[in-house]
Structure 1
Amino acid sequence: MPAIAVPSFALVVWMAGYLVGRDPGRPGLRWAGAALGAYAIGIVTWTVAPGSAVAEVLVCLPALGWAAAVVSLLPLSPRERRPIDRGALVLGALFLVLMVLLPGAGRLVALTPLLGALVMLLRQSDAVVPRRLPLALSVMAFLYAVGLVVLLAPDLPGALGDPVAAGGSVAAGDPTLALAAVALDLLAFGYLMAVEHALATGERLRPHLRRSLATALAVTAVAGVPAVLTILSAPDQHLVVLLQFVPVGVLAGAAGLTNRVRRLLDRLALAGDGRLRGDRAVLFVNADALLRRRDQHRLTEIGEPEFLRLTRRALADFNDLDRLSRSPLTDLPVVARRLAGRGDDQPRARARELRAVLREAVSALRPPGPFDTGEDWRYYNALQFCGVLGLNPYARRLRTDGLNREGRVAMDWFRRYVERDTMRQWQREAAMTVAGRLWAEMNGADITTRSS
């Protein structure tokens, strides 16, 4: 069993770290990472105490995290999402209690929220990108459920009239293959979540994922082999077995969180040299963006709906240069013209110019005349103050230090008279206007280039 449990544990921990490190602000990736992390702990627990109540709970726990990740993929408006997210949290807590209290196969009740979330996603599959994602997630969920049945109810196949399954080694009480199969299924689930995130943000996935996976495989080989040999030599020493998983988990997690670990090490080692630390941070951001940026020619091949979605994403990431540096919009012709002759064509430099382009596009929404909060000003105010300036009028402790009169008036107006969901809807509608302007400029630039 250790020869399978240790590599499975290492790869699951790596995928959890990779998903969280790819974009910590993405709820779906956080929930998927939590699901994988819970299963990694479940592998360790099952290795030490096979079939124990704690181990059974931990191998079922990913179903709840998986369900939350699926809920985050639902194409909902801000007004619709809030009650559904709250309901999902309440139901998740309720099923967690049931999963702990029920014995044995009763813990399969954890699959109920996952089933409900997948049904909701399948009903709205036409609005999901990619469209085959709901079906792929459903197939993985089915295989995960089969694995849990083998682990928690090994006699069930025989009871249903399948003598081959009933007499097999897995059904007879050996959970090794089932644990490995479930680990593989959860790795596929993590990969699908990464694919969704890459498509949603307009990034490339394979080069970045391959590089991270190569590091994880190297870590598994270097740290996993000694761990397996040690466990095999002392199988009854539970403390020794547990300790073998610690370095494997730390190294595998670091392989997934490479960029985060690198930044932490720079802060510790270069604490007294802020300039050097900043220069290294810029280099690492550029290197990461090169792995995740799409090919330049693909920007002209996407349709207007995709361009709209990318523009909304760029406006949402306006104050995050790291994310903007990976946006396909950094290849806009207007960005290239701004950089012409500067000798700096790195992703971070393109992100700064893209930010300037977006700022000008938002400023173009400002109506003529003195500042106001009337109907004609709603789009400009929503994007300028809550997007470009990054202000949150709904914060419990709103700080207006350093704001000019327009900013203070706008924050007070949003706080008093505009609901949060209304403001977000205005941002979406304003982003459509900005995207339309940029789309027209890009196509005009392409036509001009071809004619010349």
Structure 2
Amino acid sequence: MSAIAVPAFALTWWLAGYLIGRDPRRASLRWPAAALVSYALGVAAWTVAPGSSAAEILLCLPALCWAGAVVALLPLTPVERRPIDRGALALGALFLLMVVFLPQVGRLVVLAPLVGALVLLWRMRRQVAPPTLPVALTVMAVLYTAGLALLLFPSGGAVPAIAAIGVDLLAVGYLMAVAHAAESGERLRPDVRRSLAGGVLSLVLLGVPAAVTIALAGHDVVTVVQFVVVATGATVAGLGNHVRRSMDRVALAEDAGLRADRAALFLNADALLRRREPRRLGSIGEPEFLRLTRRALTDFGDLNRLARSPLTDLPVVGLRLVGREDQPRARAGALRAVLRECVSDLRPAGPFGTTDEWRNYNVLQFCCVLGLNPYSRRLRLDGLNREARLAVDWFRRYVPEDVTKQWLREAAMVVAERLWTELEGRQLPTRSIKAP
């Protein structure tokens, strides 16, 4: 068992760390990461106590996490998403209780939420990128169902079933990374290959000795300790960039300038792995251009994410870099300046107001440019100017959070239309860009 358990544990734990490291804020990446961690813990539990109820439950949980990942992929408006997300969480908790208390074969009920989520994904498949994602996830779901059924039925094929489920979940994790890269307009393969090299290295250096130790020792405590060692190495490989930044904060705590310089260099290096080759933005289509603009406005305060945006290839961004060093970080700063200028041009004349003509400016200026979340209880108003304090109070009193999210989408369309017009070099009709 250790010959299969250790590689399966190491690779799934590494991929979970990689997905979280790509973008910790994205639910479509957190859910598959949770599925992979659950599987890895299930493999470890099965190695310690083969056929135990705890191991079976842990190996069933990826289906619930997978369903959550599919729901996170659905192209919903903010008003539609909130009840669906709440319903998915409630159903997930209900099915989790059922999995805990039902006998072996009855635990196949855990597949029901996944089936429902895939049905919703198929209904909205025309709005999902890449277009082949629903087909690929459905095929993986069928294979996962076969492996889980083989595991839960007392047929003696538990070890091959666990290995098959692991391969299936690795494929699903990769598909979710592909979906995230497609949505963000990023390049995936160089980044994932580099991280995978670290994961394989940790498997060879730590996993092989751990597998030998588990096989020879045969003691539960030793087995658990070896899995902890492998998990540590896989975590460092998957979260390499975050671990490196944390080490800098500790080791260079007294030298802020050196930390900032190293952070700028590493940002450029990371962006080069995930930034697409220069391409003709005019050929990507208006819906994708709108999605990229909305994403760039959301990431306004994060140069790391802006540096990977295809919008850094806009001609207007290149004009701002004339005579300057052309690096991803510099392009991100120029893109930020372009977006700030677009938002500033939306401001009506006169003192601050809250009428409809101020709506687009207010939601972009205060929620994106200034990065304020009016609905956060931890938001401190110290240091904000009078206009920002008035805007926060207005949002809190009169604008529901779902409405603010919808306004953000509409305001992003206005900015995208302006950028698209400049890109095409011609005047587009009003509202020519349609939301995907």
TM (norm. structure 1) is: 0.92
CA distance in 1, matches of 2:87, 2:2: 40
The alpha carbon displacement at 1:398 in A equals 4.3
- The one-letter code sitting in structure 1 at the alignment partner of 2:129 is V
SS at match of 2:425: helix
Q: Distance in 1 between matches of 2:80 and 2:118?
A: 17
Is 1:216 aligned with 2:199? yes
Candidates 212, 217, 220, aligned match of 1:238: 220
Residue identity opposite 1:365 in structure 2: L
1:385-410, CA deviations, whole angstroms, 9 ceiling, x for partnerless residues?
11111112222354322222322222
**Which residue in 1 is equivalent to 2:431?**
none
Q: Which runs of 4+ in 1 moved over 3 A?
A: none
Question: Aligned partners of 1:209, 1:10: CA distance in 2, in Å?
Answer: 16
The answer for the alignment partner of 1:349 in structure 2 is 330
Give 1:190's aligned amino acid.
Answer: G
Contact 2:150–2:157 under 8 Å retained in 1:
no
Aligned to 1:381: 362
> Match of 1:413?
394
Map of 2:60 onto structure 1: 60
Confirm or deny: 8 A CA contact 2:14 2:238 kept in the other structure. Answer: yes
1:160 maps to what in 2?
Answer: none
Tell me what 1:323 maps to. 305
Cα distance between partner residues in 2 of 1:14 and 1:318: 29
User: In the alignment, which residue of structure 2 is the partner of 1:79?
Assistant: 79
State the partner residue of 2:33.
33
Report the CA distance between 1:234 and its aligned residue: 2.3
Which residue of 241, 248, 269 corresponds with 2:251?
269
Deviation at 1:298, TM superposition (A): 4.2
1:118-129 superposed matches below 5 A: 118-129=118-129
Matches within 5 A, 1:79-118: 79-118=79-118
- State which drifts further: 55-64 or 383-392: 383-392
Question: Which residue of the partner structure matches residue 143 of structure 2?
Answer: 143
Name the amino acid aligned to 2:8: S
Amino acid paired to 1:70: V
Name the counterpart of 1:227. Answer: 210
> In the TM superposition, what whole-angstrom CA distance separates every residue of 1:155-203 from its partner, at most 9, and x where no partner exists?
xxxxxxxxxxxxxxxx3x2422111110000000000100000011000
Which deviations, in whole Å up to 9, do the C-alpha atoms of 1:319-347 show, x marking residues without a partner? 111111110111111111111102x2111
- CA distance in 2: counterparts of 1:324 and 1:263, whole angstroms: 18
Separation in structure 1 between the aligned mates of residue 409 and residue 265 of structure 2, nearest angstrom: 33
Structure 2 CA distance for aligned equivalents of residues 398 and 176 of structure 1: 51
Alpha-carbon shift at residue 142 of structure 1 (Å): 1.2
Deviation at 1:301, TM superposition (A): 2.7
Please give the alpha-carbon distance, in whole angstroms, between the structure 1 residues aligned to 2:205 and 2:389.
Answer: 58
Alignment gaps of 5+ in structure 1: 155-170, 446-452
Deviation at 1:443, TM superposition (A): 2.1
Q: Is the 8 A contact 2:11 2:199 kept in 1?
A: yes
Equivalent residue number for residue 254 of structure 1: 236
- What residue identity is the alignment partner of 2:201? A
Equivalent AA in structure 2 for residue 252 of structure 1: A
Structure 1 SS opposite 2:340: helix
For residues 399 and 14 of structure 1, the distance between their equivalents in structure 2, rounded to whole angstroms, comes to: 37
More moved, 318-327 vs 270-279 = 270-279
Cα distance between partner residues in 1 of 2:374 and 2:215: 59
Cα distance in 2 for residues equivalent to 1:184 and 1:90 = 29
**Distance across 2 between alignment mates of 1:440 and 1:233:** 68
Decide which moves more: 298-307 or 431-440: 298-307
Instruction: Report the Cα distance in structure 2 between the residues aligned to 1:365 and 1:203, rounded to whole angstroms.
Output: 29
Q: Please, which of 398, 403, 407 is the counterpart of residue 384 of structure 2? A: 403
- Using the TM superposition, give the Cα deviation of residue 257 of structure 1 relative to its aligned residue in structure 2, in angstroms: 0.5
Q: 1 CA distance for matches of 2:10 and 2:386?
A: 55
Q: Which runs of 5+ in 2 are unaligned?
A: 427-436
Structure 2 residue aligned with 1:449: none
Matched, 1:196 2:179: yes
Structure with higher Rg: it is 1
Q: Which amino acid in the other structure matches residue 192 of structure 1? A: L
Q: Deviations over 1:363-389 (max 9, x none)?
A: 111122332211111111111111111
- After TM superposition, the structure 1 stretch with the greater mean CA deviation from structure 2, 240-249 or 3-12, is 240-249
Name the residue aligned to 1:288.
270
- Partner of 1:436 in structure 2? 417
Residue 12 of structure 2 corresponds to 12
Distance in 1 (CA, whole Å) between partners of 2:313 and 2:209 is 47
Letter matched to residue 67 of structure 1: A
AA of the residue aligned to 2:13: V
What RMSD, in angstroms, separates the aligned Cα atoms of the two structures? 1.3
Query: For the residues of structure 2 that align with 1:398 and 1:243, how far apart are their CA atoms?
Result: 42
For these two proteins, the number of residue pairs brought into alignment is: 426
